[in-house]
Amino acid sequence: MDEKFMRRAIELAKQAETFDEVPIGAVIVLNGEIVAEGNNRKERDNSAISHAEIVALKNANEKLGWYLSDCEMYVTLEPCAMCAGALINSRLKAVYFGAYDQKAGCCGTLYDLPTDKRFNHRLHVEGGILKDECAALLSEYFRKKRKKDSDIQGEK
């Protein structure tokens, strides 16, 4: 595990926020080098599946193919069920995440898909990497969004 990769994921999350996206970023690492990146694009793509993890996986697939068994992912928020399933199907070696997700986290919080022995592949999971910084990004984003929404409601 290397914090520098999580720091890059945080930068990508901040980029997503400039497009009024929930600030989540992800990088895929192979042999100590970033080979693919992604950030949340749900609003820009008008797609429920354009999570940072899925975007990064697609970018890695274009370069390396679908089988990513020597790769690791760093992502600022604990992956949801969809993304955890995609990590399993991509055969990733490991996922390192920042903030825990009490509402949708499926890498240990609500469920632990990547280590479930019933699946044909398991990967190493480590959470809480720069968790305070990652959680603060999300908290601040939603605080600003609630204030903006409240201001709009007040204008009516």
d(C-alpha 137, C-alpha 74), whole Å: 16
pTM of the model: 0.93
For 105-127, the pLDDT digits (tens) are: 999 999 999 999 999 999 999 99
pLDDT, mean of residues 132-146: 94
% the chain with pLDDT above 70: 95
Architecture in CATH for domain 3-151? 3-Layer(aba) Sandwich (3.40)
SS3 label, residue 110: coil
Domain ranges, ordered by start, for the chain: 3-151
Catalytic residues: 53
DSSP letter assigned to residue 19: T
